[in-house]
Amino acid sequence: MQMLTLPIGVYQANCHIVWDSPQLSTLNAQRSTQTAVVIDPGGQPKDILSALRERDLTVSHILLTHAHFDHILAAPTLQKETGAPVYVHRQDAEDVLHLNPVYALLGGYKPPKDLRTFEDGESIKAGGLTFTVRHMPGHSPGSCCLVCGHSIFSGDVLFRDNVGRVDLPGGNADDMRRTLAGIAGWTGEYLVYPGHGPSTTLTREQAENPYLQPPFRL
């Protein structure tokens, strides 16, 4: 798996472009076009499209960890330019279709024409990669982590030394505490790529992030 992270917009939301390791033709050793997934395109669609073109990447899926404006503003443009469908958890779908007008004005936002939903436990295959949806409500009703191999794209659920806020519309502190208790109990070695800020590891956050320690106070 290869990845490029682009911090987007005023809030520097991380847009992750993920693709298979490059394959070389056995006949002529030329680089072939790779299938890519774009996670949380929060704005600057020209920059995202330029990064895709520079790497000869073809987008098959646009995945949203949740429906806050700073993670979705470029999704309609990317869909129009690439033909890739946009996916979000069912409980956040309405917010993608009817984004708060104040936020929509920031990017001339019009809802994506091909919006699909996923559910907890669902697997999405893109080329040689598989993303498994883990529903993690609290920051928003449909917040999710997307797990691909030993990588977790955590959106605004989990950050380095912090977690997502619950005081925005749709946030729920009780849901977030249950989510954090679940993350604290995960086993395995994972790299964590949040929706804002630097990457981290699951074991580091389980050991050092104060919000992942019982009784999971927010």
- Interatomic CA distance for residues 155 and 135, integer angstroms: 11
Structure tokens at 194: 């949040």
**pLDDT surpassing 80 at residue 27:** no
CATH match for 2-212 among 2.60.40.1220, 3.60.15.10, 3.40.718.10, 3.90.79.10: 3.60.15.10
pLDDT recorded at residue 32 = 60
* pLDDT interval class at 28 (50, 70, 90): very low
**pLDDT surpassing 80 at residue 29:** no
Model pTM? 0.94
Domain boundaries, the chain: 2-212
Q: What share of the chain is helix, strand, coil (3-state, %, to 5)?
A: 25, 30, 45
Residues 32-87: tens digit of each pLDDT: 679 999 999 999 999 999 999 999 999 999 999 999 999 999 999 999 999 999 99
Mean pLDDT over the full length of the chain: 93
Quick one: average pLDDT of 82-108? 91
- Interatomic CA distance for residues 93 and 137, integer angstroms: 14
pLDDT recorded at residue 26 = 38
* pLDDT interval class at 23 (50, 70, 90): low
